[in-house]
Amino acid sequence: MTTLDNSNDSSPLSLPQDQEMGEMYDDITPKTVEIPEELRYKSKAERIMAVQTERVVLYPRLGEAVNRVLWMIKQKPRSRAPGLIVTGPTNSGKTTLGNWILNAYSQLSPSSFIDSVRPCAVMIELSGLTTQRGVYGRILEQIHAPVDSHARLADRELVVTMTLRNINCRLLILDEAQDVLKTSERDQQRVLDALKYLMNSLKLPVLALGVEQAGKAFDSDQHLRARFSEIKLPSWKDDDDLIDLLASLEPNLLLQRSVNLRTREMVKKLLELSEGRLGYIVDILRNAAIEGISSGMETITPEMLRRPWDVPSHEILDCPTLH
């Protein structure tokens, strides 16, 4: 179990890859991050700041999804671009995963990577989209390209494909994919037609993120349905996987006294408060760690575990060195 961000001074995450493509992209592969041991002995303010840093907790199922996504980005373009749907309950880490991939493969401006081999990813939300124009407009907004509200559909389509090709976009990320199902069948097909056109014309892989229903988002189009596979992120329960997760989180809490999150009392209370959702588990432990550091207790007890929205006093964050 590891935590991930995009730090440049960490060892690269080991993933299978074509040798030529790997050499081309090694400098931007997301990194595996282990918080330095010496940080545990820094000041309270420094440790509280570090604990607040958002990281992706790479447990095995999510690691499988990351590997698949990076493979889609790095592989040589295919005539039938692949798609992956990552589904799971609310606050299971889907959007965090999308943002992490986006940050690792971010583009600056449409003109910055013209004729560049450096790949990038673009992320849009599907909520509220009912037309092809809407899909193209949202993409243009995300890459900070000018959007002509009066342009014909064909013109907007041309601008999007040219711009994505110029910035070497190698992944389109779709958040809230299940929202496609909230529109009429006609509107669904319009949105799916836009996505299919981009996948075909640019040989562009797609990562879709959403709750469990998102797995059916592309079912109405047989061509898209055949291209997408699905990885389901779990709700956590009292088993060995949860114990491994908690063990991997303990060092990142930066407490100077020992803490054991794997006792029966700790596990039972964490599951009760978090409803088995990864994001809530992380928030609960982060808040408890901040309270433990600021109070000088330097540990976490079951009594310190509270619902994720029951945060410590904001005054803890008032120290100037935290800003």
Same domain, 31 and 141: no
Same domain, 97 and 111: yes
Same domain, 154 and 273: no
Nearest by Cα to 106 from 56, 196, 168: 168
Same domain, 94 and 222: yes
- What confidence tens digit (pLDDT) does each residue in 66-119 have? 999 999 999 999 999 999 999 999 888 898 889 889 988 876 544 444 455 678
Q: What are phi and psi of 244, to 5 degrees?
A: -65, -40
Nearest by Cα to 288 from 305, 271, 274, 303: 305
- What confidence tens digit (pLDDT) does each residue in 142-164 have? 988 887 778 889 999 999 999 99
Q: What confidence score (pLDDT) does residue 6 get?
A: 42
Mean pLDDT, rounded, for 121-148: 91
Same domain, 86 and 222: yes
Same domain, 228 and 145: yes
d(CA 261, CA 322): 27
- What confidence tens digit (pLDDT) does each residue in 265-289 have? 999 999 999 999 999 999 999 999 9
Residue-wise DSSP of 114-143: TT----EEEEEE-TT--SHHHHHHHHHHHT
Q: What confidence score (pLDDT) does residue 17 get?
A: 36
d(CA 315, CA 285): 19
- CATH number reported for the structural domain that contains residue 94 in this entry: 3.40.50.300
Same domain, 309 and 195: no
Q: Do the domain assignments include residue 127? A: yes
Sequence-ordered alpha helix ranges (H) in the chain: 19-25, 44-52, 60-74, 94-104, 132-142, 153-166, 185-202, 222-227, 240-249, 264-274, 278-295
Same domain, 94 and 192: yes
Residue 47 has pLDDT above 70, yes or no: yes
**Domain end residue (candidates: 232, 257, 275):** 232
Judge contact between 224 and 218, C-beta under 8 A.
yes
Q: What is the DSSP letter of 180?
A: G
Q: Do the domain assignments include residue 66? A: no
Judge contact between 211 and 179, C-beta under 8 A.
no
Same domain, 97 and 202: yes
Cβ neighbors of 65 (< 8 A, separation 6 or more) are 84, 86, 97, 231, 233
Q: Do the domain assignments include residue 68? A: no
Same domain, 104 and 198: yes
Q: Do the domain assignments include residue 160? A: yes
Same domain, 200 and 247: no
Mean pLDDT, rounded, for 237-264: 91
Judge contact between 110 and 143, C-beta under 8 A.
yes
Q: What percent of the chain has pLDDT over 70?
A: 84
> 226 — alpha (psi -120 to 50), left (phi > 0) or beta?
alpha
**Domain end residue (candidates: 179, 202, 232):** 232
**Domain end residue (candidates: 232, 252, 270):** 232
- What confidence tens digit (pLDDT) does each residue in 161-204 have? 999 999 999 999 999 999 999 999 999 999 999 999 999 999 99
Same domain, 243 and 274: yes
Judge contact between 69 and 171, C-beta under 8 A.
yes
The residue range of the domain holding 308 is 2-58+235-322
Q: Do the domain assignments include residue 70? A: no
Count the domains in the chain.
2
Q: Do the domain assignments include residue 47? A: yes
